[in-house]
């Protein structure tokens, strides 16, 4: 009996957008490539990371939505994201070492979606 291929190719979140055009501009300013946009859905990617931005907004949903982006250099990302946060008048935190062996910072998008952007730290032995 042949075995089925149960490989997973990709998983993507549908990120809500209160102002679809402004959110698309925000993510492009962060360095994401907008690969397509059609019928209220925009496909964004940066390297191997991707998500779908949707022209859909419910405040309670957006206020409880969290994305995580793992990067190689959190300090470089923070420096770039600070400029984007100023441009789009959104909140950003400072990088902090976390007890789960990660250094990260928080960034809110224009719709209130919370992003944790961080890099792995060497685990203490």
pLDDT, tens digit, 9 for 90 and up, residues 13-61: 999 999 999 999 999 999 999 999 999 999 999 999 999 999 999 999 9
pLDDT for 106-118, tens place per residue?
Answer: 999 999 999 999 9
Q: Where on the phi/psi map is residue 39: left (φ > 0), alpha (ψ -120 to 50), or beta?
A: left
The span from the CA of 34 to the CA of 51, in Å, is 10
Q: Say what the pLDDT of residue 118 is.
A: 97
pTM of the model: 0.92
Mean of the per-residue pLDDT values of the chain:
95
Domains and CATH numbers, the chain: 14-120 (3.10.180.10)
Which of the four pLDDT bands, split at 50, 70 and 90, describes residue 125?
low
HSE-up of residue 100 (Cα within 13 Å, Cβ side):
3
């Amino acid at each position: 009996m042949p075995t089925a291929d149960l490989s997973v190719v990709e998983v993507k979140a549908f990120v809500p957008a209160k102002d679809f055009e402004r959110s698309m501009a925000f993510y492009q300013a962060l360095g994401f490539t907008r690969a397509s946009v059609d019928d209220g859905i925009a496909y964004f990617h940066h390297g191997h990371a991707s998500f779908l931005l949707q022209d859909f907004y419910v405040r309670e949903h957006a206020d409880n939505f969290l994305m995580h982006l793992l990067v190689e250099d959190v300090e470089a990302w923070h420096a770039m994201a600070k400029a984007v946060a100023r441009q789009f008048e959104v909140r950003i935190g400072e990088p902090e070492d976390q007890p789960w062996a990660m250094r990260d910072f928080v960034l809110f998008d224009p719709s209130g979606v919370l992003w944790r952007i961080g890099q792995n730290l060497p685990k203490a032995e």
